[in-house]
Amino acid sequence: MNFKQIVKPSLLLDPQRCKKNIHSMIEKAATNRFELRPHFKTHQSHIIGSWFRDEGIEKITVSSVGMATFFAVNGWDDITIAFPVNIRQMEEIKGLSQKVKLGLVVVDPDTIDILGKELKDSVSIWIEIDVGTHRTGIRPEDTMLIDDIIERIKSYPLLNLIGLLGHAGHSYQSKSVTQVERTHENAVDKMKEIQKRYKSAFPALKISLGDTPAASMLSSFGPIDEFRPGNFVFYDLQQEEIGSCHLDDIAVAMACPVVAVHPDRLQWIIYGGGIHFAKDFLTLKDGQKCFGRWVKPDGKSWVTSETAGGPYISSLSQEHGVVQCTERTFHLCNPGDLSLWLPVHSCMTADAMGEYYSTDGGKIDHYREHLWS
């Protein structure tokens, strides 16, 4: 990709950084003897998926039925949809269960009955446990509900209870490796207790967890069977703040034309807004919001040596980004220049952009939910 060819907001992907992230996580899984079932919701790409396949990955996680179909047509045949079953999509789920080894996540007894009655092919059932994030999943102490779900699963021969699935998403609030460790250990303990309770009936019940901070920062994981991190494929400023990665590991950057500069307030205006970056932000020490950090173009890619203390995006509207500089950095861009930005939340930015430009040249695909069906 020649930067001169970029005329509007574009998401750049550095394959070297990305493949290094993939390789490191696969090595970590091998060392720690858990099965890596990477979450493909971050990249949502056939091409990037093939980089995982090249490293031996055969099992994947996705977050919607549409995304599962997108990867199934690309030859992936062992897919877990890590989102509570949406029974309104039963027809598509039935189609998927014919074609691939499908894993479904349940939190609701009635959903089990509907699946049991509707499905014509076998599926793996994960019971989602709330390990402390309080988004989805059954409370570990709600044994009556877990019992009810398990009893119902047992009555449908095509529903194979495979294990307990959790997502310690509250690790994203962590400020240190110790906190991430504690959150992970606590999640594992909760899972182990439930596993023990059903050991006689289901001796092989698996434990699956999945957050990128734990996957990146920890060096021991306890008795888990499977890990489903996703964000590590790109990382982002949020992960860098938590401590999951270094700035230089971040594998995507937004390229945005500068359209105005304001010397009086040391700000640039970029063509690049909320519809491009999405609107996740970090809160800086001085209370300011940060929606992206500047990186310096270098050859076909970028370097992060001047990123700390450099320009950052302080607000985003639909197409505008306002960039805060200092007297030292204000001169770095003029109207007409291209500026490069590390995103705060790469999953959301990639989804907003819907395609990538490889720094090695060429486009890289991204699933588009609203066009697929």
Query: What are the residues binding a second copy (CB under 8 A)?
Result: 6-8, 41, 63-66, 83-89, 92, 107-108, 110-111, 114, 134-136, 139, 142, 169, 257, 259-261, 264-265, 269, 271, 274-275, 278-280, 315, 317-320, 322, 334-336, 338, 347-348, 351-355, 368-371
- Kindly report the CA angle at 230 between 228 and 234, in degrees rounded to 5? 150
Shortest Å distance, C-beta 292 to a second copy = 14
Compute CA distances 341 → 135, 226, 256, 269, 361, whole Å: 30, 33, 8, 13, 19
Query: What are the counts of helices (DSSP H) followed by strands (DSSP E) for the chain?
Result: 12, 20
- Kindly report the CA angle at 132 between 128 and 138, in degrees rounded to 5? 30
Smallest CA-to-CA distance from 57 within 42, 41, 75, 69 is with 75
Q: Is 358 helix (H, G, I), strand (E, B) or coil?
A: strand
Smaller CB separation from a second copy, 55 or 108: 108
Smaller CB separation from a second copy, 85 or 214: 85
Q: Which amino acid is at 247?
A: L
Smaller CB separation from a second copy, 111 or 304: 111
Smaller CB separation from a second copy, 18 or 106: 106
Shortest Å distance, C-beta 8 to a second copy = 6
Smaller CB separation from a second copy, 248 or 319: 319
Smaller CB separation from a second copy, 307 or 347: 347
Shortest Å distance, C-beta 323 to a second copy = 11
- Which residue do the tokens 């009555």 mark? 155
Task: Return phi, psi of residue 307, to 5°.
Answer: -80, -45
Task: Return phi, psi of residue 124, to 5°.
Answer: -90, 135
Shortest Å distance, C-beta 203 to a second copy = 28
- Report H helices in the chain: 15-32, 46-54, 65-72, 90-99, 109-118, 143-154, 177-197, 212-217, 237-242, 274-277, 346-353, 369-372
Smaller CB separation from a second copy, 30 or 260: 260
Shortest Å distance, C-beta 347 to a second copy = 6
Shortest Å distance, C-beta 191 to a second copy = 19
What burial class does residue 254 get, using C-beta atoms within 10 Å of its C-beta: 0-12 exposed, 13-18 middle, 19+ buried? buried
Strand 101-106 relative to strand 123-128: parallel, antiparallel, unpaired?
Answer: parallel
- Report H helices in 207-295: 212-217, 237-242, 274-277
Smaller CB separation from a second copy, 304 or 314: 314
Smaller CB separation from a second copy, 304 or 338: 338
Shortest Å distance, C-beta 143 to a second copy = 14
Shortest Å distance, C-beta 142 to a second copy = 8
Q: Give the integer Cα–Cα distance in Å for 44 and 368.
A: 9
Shortest Å distance, C-beta 54 to a second copy = 26
